[in-house]
Amino acid sequence: MANESNLQENKIVRFLTRVFDLIVLNVLCVLTSLPIITAGASVTALYSVMLKLVVREEGYIVRDYFEAFRKHFKVATIEFVIAAAVEALLLADWLIAARMGSFSTVMRTLIGAVQIIWLLEVLFLFPVTAVSENGVVRNLKDALRVPVSSLPQAFVVVLVTLSAVLVTLLNQTTIMYGAVFWTCIGVALIAFVNARPLRAILRPFYQL
């Protein structure tokens, strides 16, 4: 009975420790993203730690986070600027297409298809960058090529991420609670859940 009690206590301690780790990493990610332009480096650093955390290979999470942030800062920042620029262009195209009369539906359908592809690109771009030693161009290519090689795991990542976002945007109440959730633990929690299928996707192409 004593052994069972100790085992149960250890599980609780590990669970609480992991929750604390996620809160710390979430706060770090949010704070280092505040200049906005550094968001790409922040998400890359978060995934760098999470891909280790999920298989208990982490060291000191705060130190590891900032090491990854510095290591990938240049490449991830350039990627973020590209991602933001493409997104702004797609939004502008959508607004223009809305005024094109009879061609509006066709154009918006085409732009919507490109938008979906680009969202998938961005979703996998920073996890790829977290484990890559390559440059921006290669990472942009791999962010589409690598997930296609493991569609079931890629589908899990997409489903988890989009579900969390859509639930947050359901109504004013979910947006209010969602703001607290994402600020306190949400970003890190989603990254943690995604980390295991991402390891399966990335392992054939990168050293993990």
- The CA dihedral of 20, 26, 31, 36, to the nearest 10 degrees, is 180
Q: What is the pLDDT of residues 99-156, one digit of tens each?
A: 877 677 888 889 889 998 999 999 999 999 999 999 999 999 999 999 998 989 999 9
pLDDT above 60 for 2: no
| Cα dihedral sign, 136-138-139-143 | positive
Comparing C-alpha atoms, which of 130, 161, 132, 120 is closest to residue 47? 130
Q: In whole angstroms, what is the distance from residue 24 CA to residue 62 CA?
A: 8
| Cα dihedral sign, 37-39-40-45 | positive
| Tokens matching residue 5 | 């009690």
Q: In whole angstroms, what is the distance from residue 204 CA to residue 208 CA?
A: 9
The answer to whether 111 touches 97, Cβ cutoff 8 Å, is: yes
Cα 1 to Cα 6, 8, 129, distances in angstroms:
9, 11, 48
Q: What pLDDT shows up at residue 207?
A: 82
pLDDT band at 12 (very low <50, low <70, confident <90, very high): confident
pLDDT above 70 for 4: no
Over residues 13-30, the mean pLDDT reads: 94
Q: How far apart are the first and last CA of the chain?
A: 39
Q: What global pTM score does this model have? A: 0.91
Q: What pLDDT shows up at residue 1?
A: 56
Say which range, 26-40, 105-119, 177-191, has the weakest mean pLDDT: 105-119
Q: In whole angstroms, what is the distance from residue 140 CA to residue 118 CA?
A: 10
